[in-house]
């Protein structure tokens, strides 16, 4: 089996950069937004819609009255979320089979568990997350510190819900990963080089 590295990460922790740099150090494929692009190609849904339903837990079953009887009916959005997850699972397995790679998020550590991936989780403290988010910068009105903290917590909550719904495992729990990386006050370049050496 080849080198398959999965990266779970908290928002603002620099997990994407860690993954990108590890892939560069090892000269292997890196998959992040590329997975989304493949899902768009293979489903009838837009990129924006897929982004929406792959962040957080999908809508669950709800009862409605139909033909004089009550029963569970699947909400269309729920079924679409499941369809997207199933397609995503196929894509992840295809990519991991094709070559050595680093895969960002998308429950890849769980989806590829039979392929024995090296599972990394990247986290950081709030102060470092805020500084990292501010340094990246985005167009539009800058967020206040309070707004930034709220945004970080919201995204992490959605990631947790998504991961735990589909895997039945606790997001960020150390027993589900092979390496936990705290990027607070760390040089991500050096961190990536050290991790890459594990695969020499």
HSE, side-chain direction, 13 A CA sphere, residue 68 = 0
pLDDT of residue 65: 39
* Element containing residue 69 per DSSP (H, E): strand 69-73
Per-residue pLDDT tens digits for 78-135 = 888 888 889 999 999 999 999 999 999 999 999 999 999 999 999 999 999 998 888 8
Please tell me the CATH superfamily of domain 4-192, with its number.
P-loop containing nucleotide triphosphate hydrolases (3.40.50.300)
Residues of the chain above pLDDT 90, percent: 62
Per-residue pLDDT tens digits for 27-48 = 999 999 888 888 888 888 788 8
pLDDT of residue 25: 96
pLDDT of residue 61: 43
State the pTM of this model.
0.85
As a whole number, mean pLDDT of residues 157-168 equals 93
Q: Which range among 5-19, 127-141, 148-162 shows the weakest confidence by mean pLDDT?
A: 127-141
pLDDT of residue 62: 45
Q: Distance between CA 100 and CA 27 in Å, rounded? A: 9
Per-residue pLDDT tens digits for 71-86 = 455 567 788 888 888 9
Backbone phi and psi for residue 101, each to the nearest 5 degrees, phi listed first: -165, 165
* Torsional sign, CA 119, 122, 86, 61: positive
Backbone phi and psi for residue 8, each to the nearest 5 degrees, phi listed first: -95, 150
Looking at residue 54, the DSSP 8-state letter turns out to be: T
Place of tokens 């680093």: 102
Domain boundaries, the chain: 4-192
Tokens of 80: 């679409």
pLDDT exceeds cutoff 80 at 195: yes
pLDDT of residue 191: 95
Q: What radius of gyration do the chain's Cα atoms show?
A: 18
pLDDT exceeds cutoff 80 at 67: no
More confident residue, 64 or 138: 138
CA dihedral angle for residue 94, residue 96, residue 98, residue 104, rounded to 10 degrees? 100
* Element containing residue 158 per DSSP (H, E): helix 145-167
């Amino acid at each position: 089996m080849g080198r398959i590295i999965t990266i779970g990460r908290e928002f603002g922790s620099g997990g994407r950069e860690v993954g990108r740099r590890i892939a560069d150090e090892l000269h292997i494929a890196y998959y992040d937004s590329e997975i989304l692009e493949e899902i768009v190609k293979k489903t009838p849904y837009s990129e924006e819609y897929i982004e929406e339903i792959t962040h957080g837990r999908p809508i669950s079953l709800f009862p409605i009255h139909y033909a004089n009887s009550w029963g569970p009916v699947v909400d269309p959005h729920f079924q679409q979320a499941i369809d997207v997850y199933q397609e995503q699972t196929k894509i992840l397995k295809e990519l991991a089979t094709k070559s050595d790679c680093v895969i960002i998020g998308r429950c890849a550590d769980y989806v590829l568990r039979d392929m024995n991936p090296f599972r990394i989780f990247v986290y950081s403290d709030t102060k470092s997350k805020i500084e990292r988010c501010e340094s990246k910068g985005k167009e539009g009105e800058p967020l206040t510190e309070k707004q930034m903290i709220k945004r970080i917590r919201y995204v992490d909550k959605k990631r947790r819900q998504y991961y735990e719904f589909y895997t039945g495992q606790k997001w960020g729990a150390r027993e589900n990963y092979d390496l936990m990386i705290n990027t607070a006050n760390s040089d991500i370049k050096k961190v990536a080089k050290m991790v890459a050496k594990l695969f020499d």
